[in-house]
Structure 1
Amino acid sequence: MENNNEGNKEEPLLYIHQPNFQKPARKMQDSFLSEDVAEIVQKENIVPQEVKQKQSFTIPPLGSENMIEVEQEISDETQEEIKKPVSAADYFRRNTGTSSRKSWNLTPVKSFRDMSIPEKLQYLSGFPSSQQPYSCEFITENQRYSGTLSKYEPDRIIVKSSQGDTNAVDVKDLQAIRIMI
């Protein structure tokens, strides 16, 4: 029987004569390299040209008390060749702390009460045809009109009441607009 930990399970027999299908190997991504990561790795590996890295160690000879000291200079070419691969987890750990989250540049929406009359009319006229418009109360100095905004022009509006009557109101005469709930 096959090991279930590897993800290989016996599938049900579907044909009388079973074809020998090649099953794809499942592999997870261990590491990746992007331009940002390459720049960060290069910044980490930058060594000033004046200072050369030296690797030193001492070897005690077996029969004597004197120590032999060996110094080996590592050239810039070999330093560039020694680049450690960056795993995906390390990349995200490093970048979540340093970079801020992306901003969507969303502007806060004013409440209907805080809008001016032209802004309210623009808002009420901007509903899509699939959405039912809000029933409002349009207040002038002499009269109150209740209904929905049917048509908006720069100098006048047409209000359709719930009975089907239409009333034309000048925009300059409007004092307030309230949404009726």
Structure 2
Amino acid sequence: QEIKQEKDVGIKQEIKREKDVGIKQEIKREKDVEIRQEIKQEKVVEHSIIPVNIPQSETKKPNKMFQSMTIKEKIEFLCSFPAHMSQPICEILCQNQKYIGTILELKEGSLYVSIPPNKEKKVLTFNDIQTISIIKI
């Protein structure tokens, strides 16, 4: 009986130790999960977008369809084409005549246009221009 009692006590202690170890492992797992979640939340906070006040002069101009631009905006747009690209061919309607060619530059209220076939350079006054449309890019 004494041996049986010792065995029972030994088994009970072993079971208690296993339960304690199991409980400790479960608590450790729960803490690990909590720590991982906290780290994830901190990372999310680190990468969140923080609004910054940028002066309006540094912001990009919104894209605008060519047809809805004013004549001045159209001319600025066409004059800003990079030199390495082919310049768009435009139709410029003035009060008394229509011109087809490429816009070269805008200087002091005058628009310089190259008109084919002999690449004649024509000077148009800004106030005379009624419409500008792109024929070919």
Gaps of 5+ in 1: 1-83
1:125 is aligned to 79
2:135 is aligned to 180
Would you say 1:169 and 2:120 are equivalent positions?
no
- 1:162, CA displacement in angstroms? 2.9
Distance 1:175 1:92, change over 3 A: same
Distance 1:106 1:126, change over 3 A: closer
Structure 1 residues 95-119: Cα deviation after superposition (integer angstroms, max 9, x where no partner) = 56xx447689544222111111111
Q: Which has the higher contact order (CA 8 A, sep 6+)?
A: 2
Give the 3-state SS of the residue equivalent to 2:82 in structure 1.
coil
Alpha carbons 1:154, 1:171 under 8 Å: kept: no
Which consecutive aligned stretches of 4+ in structure 1 deviate over 2 angstroms post-superposition? 84-87, 89-96, 99-107
**Percent identity (aligned):** 24
2:11 is aligned to none
Q: Which amino acid aligns with 1:176?
A: T
Would you say 1:110 and 2:84 are equivalent positions?
no
1:91 is aligned to 42
Distance 1:139 1:108, change over 3 A: same
Gaps of 5+ in 2: 1-34
The structure where helix makes up a greater share of residues is 2
Would you say 1:139 and 2:93 are equivalent positions?
yes
Give the 3-state SS of the residue equivalent to 2:72 in structure 1.
helix
CA radius of gyration, larger in: 2
Distance 1:106 1:122, change over 3 A: closer
Q: TM-score, normalized by length of structure 2?
A: 0.57
Distance 1:92 1:178, change over 3 A: same
Give the 3-state SS of the residue equivalent to 1:178 in structure 2.
strand
Would you say 1:152 and 2:106 are equivalent positions?
yes
Alpha carbons 1:157, 1:168 under 8 Å: kept: yes
Alignment of 1:14-29 (within 5 A): none
